[in-house]
Amino acid sequence: MSNPGEKRGLTYADSGVSIEEGDRFAASIMRHMRKTHGPRVLANEGGFAGLFRLDFNEQLFKRNFKHPVLVAATDGVGTKIKLGIEVDMYEPLGVDLVAMSVNDLVVQGADPLFFLDYIAAHKVEPAVLERVIRGISQACQVCGCALLGGETAELNDLYAPGDIDLAGFAVGVLELDRAIDTERVEAGDIVIGLESDGVHSNGFSLVRGIMKQAGLDPSKVHDELDTERTFGEVLMTPTRLYAAPITKLLRRYKVKKVISGMAHITGGGLAGNLNRALHDGVDAVIDRGAWAPPPVFAFLQAQGNIDSQEMDRVFNMGIGYALIVRPTFAGSVAKQLQRFGERAKVIGEIQRGTGSVRWS
């Protein structure tokens, strides 16, 4: 018993962190996680890590993989989070978080296996953070990827009230012999582009700078955007999930190596990402007129008076994913991707060069 007049000792709650609130939030999101779980996920509620079996249905696993290689990727959502908070749209941020890592996995030819998230916040607000988790769960279900676990940190000394930050980590598996190798790219190969759904998750520091400079209100509808959605809703359109259609496509070519390279088009634009799929002896020559970028890009460029080269360097400009395909299979691959729901277009070809992306 404390003495009368004795000062009460400080608690964690006094410093602004509620362990109980964090525990309640962790328990409340389990239903979203379970929606993504298949038979490979082992029950481990309350454990310190998620458990995932690589050898579920051992004969099937052995038939698919003689030399399995684990592939890992991690990423965040960047300053798009600031806009999401401003317009009260949190589910798209969860989708973005999954897409940014899982799309990178399939570039290597991997099947996504599981995903983990890290959420940091000034204060755990379950009603807000559950919306983020809902988006993560929905995206994982689309990608066939188990949401295996995560971490929520309440960091009131690092973040301002209302602030959150997100990071994601994905693991996939591929057969060593099927790994995408830049050395397989040849002159004459065809470049197929999959259209983006908009800005996706890159370049939002510039987007927000344009909005501030031009005094743009995210709640307004603009005729130039060719939609009844508000400007904020257009910008918050999540990164397209390319994992499922690409995985389906790769499974159809288990013997023939018709795809020689792939790229997820993120920060750096088409030129700054497609070049990562090339070796030093070839160039990708891209026909800029092969697709029509979504109107949001022209709108942003006009409002911010942005140079075209800067737009190409920062944004995806309407192509979110690219494949380099053997010429005799290009038509078939494009048609299959279209059947899978993608807006696939032939956008260029591979020529002899120095490992660069050029515009025709």
Encode pLDDT of 243-274 as tens digits: 999 999 999 998 889 999 999 999 999 999 99
Share of the chain above pLDDT 90, in %: 76
Domain assignment present for residue 7? The answer is: no
Q: In Å, what is the CA distance from 286 to each residue of 277, 290, 322, 348?
A: 14, 8, 11, 4
- On the CB side of 24, CA atoms within 13 Å amount to 8
Domain boundary among 116, 144, 178: 178
Give the separation between CA 204 and CA 188, rounded to whole angstroms. 36
Q: Is residue 352 part of a domain?
A: yes
In total, the chain counts a number of residues equal to 360
| pLDDT digits 0-9 by tens, 108-134 | 999 999 999 999 999 999 999 999 999
Q: Is residue 316 part of a domain?
A: yes
pLDDT at residue 16 is higher than 70: no
* pLDDT tens per residue, range 304-313: 999 999 999 9
Residues 205 and 127 in one domain: no
What is the predicted pLDDT for the residue at 278?
97
The pLDDT of residue 62 is above 70: no
Global model pTM greater than 0.95: no
| pLDDT computed for residue 43 by the predictor | 74
| Predicted local confidence at residue 239, as pLDDT | 98
Q: What is the domain count for the chain?
A: 2
Residue 338 located in a structural domain: yes
Together in a domain, 211 and 156: no
Give the residue among 178, 171, 133, 175 at the shortest CA–CA distance from 53.
171
Question: Is the residue at 1 inside a domain?
Answer: no
Supply the pLDDT for residue 5: 59
How confident is residue 61, by pLDDT bands cut at 50, 70 and 90?
low
Which pLDDT belongs to residue 187?
98
**Among 287, 322, 95, CA closest to 196:** 322
Domain at 99, CATH number? 3.30.1330.10
Domain final residue, candidates 133, 162, 178: 178
25 pLDDT band, cuts 50/70/90, is low
Share of the chain above pLDDT 70, in %: 88
What CATH number is associated with residue 306?
A: 3.90.650.10
Residues 283, 337 share a domain: yes
Asked if residues 110 and 145 have their Cβ atoms less than 8 Å apart, the reply is: no
211, part of any domain: yes
**What confidence tens digit (pLDDT) does each residue in 319-339 have?**
999 999 999 999 999 999 999
What's the confidence (pLDDT) of residue 320?
Answer: 98
Name the average pLDDT for the chain.
90
276 and 330 inside one domain: yes
pLDDT at 234 over 70: yes
Residue 307: Cβ-neighbour burial (10 angstroms; 0-12, 13-18, 19+): exposed
Residues 79 and 209 in one domain: no
pLDDT of residue 38: 81
**Residue-level pLDDT at 254:** 81
Do 269 and 323 lie in one domain? The reply is yes
Q: Same domain for 154 and 278?
A: no
What is d(CA 333, CA 331) in angstroms, rounded to the nearest whole number?
Answer: 6
pLDDT higher than threshold 60 for residue 143: yes
Residue 81 CA to residue 91 CA, distance in Å, equals 11
pLDDT tens-digit profile of 64-91? 678 888 999 999 999 999 999 999 999 9
Shared-domain flag, residues 149 and 239: no
> Which among 155, 178, 201 is the end of a domain?
178
Considering the domain architecture, whether residues 223 and 97 belong to the same structural domain is answered as: no
Most confident of the following: 4-13, 31-40, 198-207, 252-261: 198-207
244 and 321 share a domain? yes
pLDDT of residue 68: 87
Residues 158 and 206 in one domain: no
Residue 227 reports pLDDT greater than 80: yes
In a domain, 50, yes or no: yes
Average the pLDDT over 193-208 and give the result: 97
Kindly state whether residue 267 falls inside one of the protein's structural domains: yes
Residues 158 and 79 in one domain: yes
Phi, psi of 121 (to 5 degrees): -150, 155
What is the reported pLDDT for 34?
82
Which pLDDT score is estimated for 153?
93
pLDDT above 60 for 183: yes
Structure confidence at residue 21 (pLDDT): 62
Whether 2 has a pLDDT exceeding 60, the answer reads no
Domain with 166, as residue range(s), is 13-178
Q: Walk across the sheet containing 190-195 and list its strands.
A: 259-264, 319-325, 190-195, 344-352, 282-286, 357-359
* Residue pLDDT, tens place only, 156-178: 999 999 999 999 999 999 988 88
Look at residue 40 in the predicted model and tell me its pLDDT.
Answer: 76
